[in-house]
Structure 1
Amino acid sequence: MLVSLFICPICQSPLQPAADTWRCDGSLHPKQTSHPFDVARQGYVNLLPVQQKKSKAPGDSQQSIAARQRFLSVGYYQPLRDLVCEKMAVLLSTHQPAMAKDNKSKVRWLDIGCGEGYYTQAMAQQGGIETLIAADISKPALVEVAKIAKAAHLLWYQQEKEDRTDVTVAKTAIYPLVTSAAHLPLRPHSLMGISSIFSPILPEAFAEVLQDKGYLVIAKPDVGHLMTLREALFDSVREHDSDKFLPTLAPYFKLIETHFVSAPLSLSTEPLADLLTMTPYAYRARVENRQALLASAKAEPFNTEAKFVVYILQKITDK
C-alpha cells in the first residue's frame, strides 16, 4: 500500500487509498478535519472539489469520448502510441540502475489528461511502471479508464490483493483519478515521469510533483497535422505551432529529444465523423462545411495525414 503518495485536494494532508473510501488524516487542516473520497463502483476516485471546477461538467463529454474510443480502436493513431511507449521504455530502462543505487525501486508515472485511456492502457501493458496514475478532469473519461483497467485486473486495489498472495505478480497498478492538472493531489517530488498527450502544459505544477531528473513526455500535433481535413472545413487554416510552449518549460526542464511520427488516414463516413466529433473541429467549423465533407466521404474515402511530434524533457535538478 502506498504511503503519502497522494495528498488531499482540499487541505493537502496525506491521503490514504482504500478499496471503498480514500481518507486524509486531516493533519494539515486547521480543525484537523478528515476528508473522505468514495471510490466509484467502476473504480475511479473523484478528487476534484467543487471549488476547482470551472463548469458543472468539465472536460470531454460522453459523446466526444465515445467517438474517440471508436476511432482509436481501429488503430489510426497507433503509430503515435507505439512511439510514446517505445520512448518511455527506454527512459525506464535507463532510470532503473540509478534508482537501485538510491534504494528507490518504485516507478510512479502520471498520465495527465489521459482521456478514455487509449495511451494509458498501453503504458500499463508494457510494464516497468509500478504505479500509473491516470488523471483527467472529465468524469465520463475516467469511468471508461476504470472499467477497462478493472476488466484487465489492473486497478490498484486488485493489485494489492494479488500482492498478498504467495505469488507476486509484477503488474502495473492503475489509479484512475478525476482531478485538475493545476491542483495535482500528489506529494511533491514523488513521480519519476509524466506523460501529457494533447493536454495542457503546466510547467510549475509538473515540476512540483516530479523528482529531480524526472521525465516529461509531451505529444502534440505537428506542422501539417490533418491539413487536408482542416482545409476542407475552414476558409483559412492556421498552422500548428507545436513547440510554442517550450520556452515556458525552460526554467524547470531541459529538452533532450524530439521525435516525429505520421500516419496516413483513409476515412469513410463513420470514422471521419468520429474524428470530427473528438476534435474542436466539431464546433469550430460551419455546419454546412462539415455536412459537405461527410457527404463526400460517402462516395470515396477522405484522405488526410496525422502528424505528431513527441518531446522528451528532463527536470533540472533542484538547487
Structure 2
Amino acid sequence: MPVSLFICPLCQSPLQPAADTWRCDGSLHPKQTSHPFDVARRGYVNLLPVQQKKSKAPGDSQESIDARKRFLNHGHYAPLQELISQKMIELLSNDELIDKQDSKTVNWLDIGCGEGYYTQAMAQMGSDVIDTLIAADISKPAVVELAKVSKIAGRLWYQPRKEDTAKTTAVYPLVTSAAHLPLRPHSMTGISSIFSPILPEAFDNVLMDGGYLIIAKPDVGHLATMRDALFDDVREHDSDKFLQELAPYFTLVETCLVSTELTLSAEDLADLMTMTPYAYRARSEKRQALLAAVETVAFSTEAKFVVYILQKTSV
C-alpha cells in the first residue's frame, strides 16, 4: 500500500483513503485505536473533530456560498482566476523541484477553497500539472458544493478514470481546520490561500522544501466606491502585513497585481455584499440605500487584487 498523504486528525496516525470509509492504522494512538471517517454520498470527507470546532457550523454559511457562486459564475473575478492558474503552470513546470520528490507527483493544497471557483480552474489543468488536488475548508456547505461539481466532472479521487480522461487531476474535498491540517509533513508541492487564513507554521509543516505558496488578497483600493458608500470611515486593506510572519519560513519570489472594472446590477451587488464581510459590518440602512440606488443605474467599482508567490526556504 502506498504511503498515504493523510494523517488522522485525532491521533496523527497514517490515514488511508478508501471509497467508503477512510481509516487510520492507530499506530500513534496509545491504545492502537483505529479511527474511521465515512465518505459522504457527495464524495467529501469530514476530518474536522468536534474539539476543533469553534461553533456549531463553522465557516461560510450556505447563503454566503450561494451568493459567491452566483457572483463568480458571472465572471467578475475571472482575471484573478486566470492569473493564479497561469502562475501555477509556470511554477510547476520547474522540473528541478518535482525531481526532488520521491514519487515525482505534484500534490497541491487549496486551503480555504470555499465552493471551489479557483479550485476547479486548478483541476482543469489536468495531471500534467497537478496529480492530486486537496481542497480544504472548514465550511461543510462549501465543501459539499465543491464535491458536487467535482463529481459531475468526474474528478473525485475515487472515481474511475476513463481512458480519454486519464490525465484528470484527482480532487479530494475535505472538511478540516487550516490550523490542524490532516496531511503528512512535507507532502505538499504547493499551497494556495485565496482570501483565506495565513498560518505560517502549518504551511511550513506540510510543504516540501522548495515548495510554493500562492497567496491572493484584496489590494489597496479594492471595491473602493462600494466601501465608500457603505462606511463613514473606510479602512484600507493592509495587503502585505503577513509577509513578516512568513519570513522565517518563506522567501518572496514575485508580487503580481491584477485589477478589473466591474459594472454590477442590483442582484450582482447584493451577492457581492453577501459574500464579503461587508454583509454584517455595514449598517443595514446603508446597504439598503445603496441597493435602492442601483435599481435604476448599474453600479461601477474596481476589483483590485495582489498575488504573492513565495517559496519555502530549504533547510
TM-score (normalised: structure 1): 0.96
Alpha-carbon contact 2:97-2:211 (below 8 Å) kept: no
- The answer as to whether partners of 1:2 and 1:16 remain within 8 angstroms in 2 is no
| Deviation string, structure 1 residues 64-91 (Cα, Å, up to 9, x no partner) | 0000000000000000000000000000
- C-alpha distance in 1, partners of 2:284/2:224? 19
Compared CA separation, residues 98 and 206, structure 1 to 2 (3 A): closer
List alignment gaps of at least 5 residues for structure 2.
none
After superposition, give the CA deviation of every residue in 1:135-190 in whole Å (9 maximum; x if it has no partner): 000000000000000000000001xx32xx77781110000000000000000000
Deviation at 1:98, TM superposition (A): 4.1
Q: CA deviation at 1:4?
A: 1.9
**CA RMSD in angstroms, aligned pairs only:** 1.3
Runs (5+) with no aligned partner, structure 1: none
In structure 2, which of residues 259, 279, 283 is the aligned counterpart of residue 262 of structure 1?
A: 259
Q: Percent identity?
A: 73
Residue 52 (structure 2) pairs with residue 52 (structure 1): yes
Residues 268 and 146 of structure 1, relative CA distance in 2, 3 Å threshold: same
Q: Which residue of 1 aligns with 2:245?
A: 248
Give the corresponding residue for 2:150: 149
CA separation in 2, counterparts of 1:81 and 1:73? 12
Equivalent-residue separation in structure 1 for 2:304 and 2:28 (angstroms): 46
1:249, 1:267 → 2: CA distance?
36
C-alpha distance in structure 2 between counterparts of 1:279 and 1:168, whole Å:
36
> How many Å separate the matches in 1 of 2:266 and 2:66?
16
Alignment partners' CA distance in 2, 1:46 and 1:250: 32
Equivalent position SS for 2:92: helix
Structure 1 position 190 matched with structure 2 position 191: no
For the residue of structure 2 that corresponds to 1:182, the secondary structure is coil
* Alignment match, 1:138: 139
In the TM superposition, 1:118-129 aligns within 5 A as 118-127=117-126, 128-129=129-130
Number of matched pairs: 313
Report how far residue 276 of structure 1 moved: 0.4
Normalized per residue, which structure has more helix?
1
Classify the secondary structure of the residue corresponding to 1:10. coil
1:15 touches 1:23 (CA, 8 Å); kept in 2? yes
Tell me how far apart the structure 2 counterparts of residues 279 and 241 of structure 1 sit (CA, whole Å): 16
1:296 to 281, 287, 293: 293
TM-superposed CA distance for 1:104, in Å, is 3.3
Q: Return the offset for 1:100.
A: 3.5
- The equivalences for 1:1-319 within 5 A come to 3-94=3-94, 96-100=95-99, 103-127=102-126, 128-158=129-159, 161-162=160-161, 169-318=166-315
> Aligned equivalents of 2:206 and 2:101: distance in 1?
18
Whether the 8 Å CA contact 1:2–1:17 is kept in 2: the answer is no
- Cα shift at 1:126: 1.4
Q: 1:20 to 1:202 in 2, by over 3 A?
A: same
Q: Alignment partner of 1:156: what SS?
A: coil
Look up the equivalent residue of 1:67 and give its one-letter code.
Answer: A
